[in-house]
Amino acid sequence: MTETVELIDNDFLRQFELKVDNDMAVIEYSLQERKIFLTKMVIPDVMKSDTFEKEFLAMVFDNIKDRNISVVPTSPEIAKFVRSNRKYKRMLPVGIRI
């Protein structure tokens, strides 16, 4: 499902957006120095599934990885994703453990 949609970094609203049909999933963030704090994830009920959530988060993390900045997940759902995906743990800043 997410292969045909585009991830948008709306820097004005400080959120990543993924629109599917008439619904939009959002991950809010705060950018400070060379760190991005992922603070809140909002997925509409019609889009909610483990698969969608994981694909959405992977798209966001891959986008951030391309910018070469560290990630600090402050949302419990996002921290859980990082714990279960070892390749994204390397994106955490030095001294941060999840």
| 8 domain residue, yes or no | yes
Q: Which domain holds residue 13?
A: 2-89
Q: Look at residue 98 and tell me if it is in a domain.
A: no
Does residue 68 belong to any structural domain of this protein? yes
Above pLDDT 90, what percent of the chain?
78
Return the CATH number at 35.
3.40.630.30
CB 5 within 8 A of CB 20: yes
**Confidence at residue 87, expressed as pLDDT on a 0 to 100 scale:** 92
Structure confidence by residue, pLDDT tens digits, 16-38:
999 988 899 999 999 998 999 99
Residue 96 domain-assigned (yes or no): no
CB 65 within 8 Å of CB 91: yes
Residue 45 vs residue 4, higher pLDDT? 45
Average of pLDDT values for 57-71?
A: 94
Does 34 fall in a domain?
Answer: yes
Does residue 3 surpass a pLDDT of 80?
A: no
pLDDT for the residue 53 = 93
The verdict on residue 7 lying in a domain is yes
Count other Cβ atoms within 10 Å, centred on residue 22. Answer: 7
What's the mean pLDDT in 5-26? 93
| Structural domains counted in the chain | 1
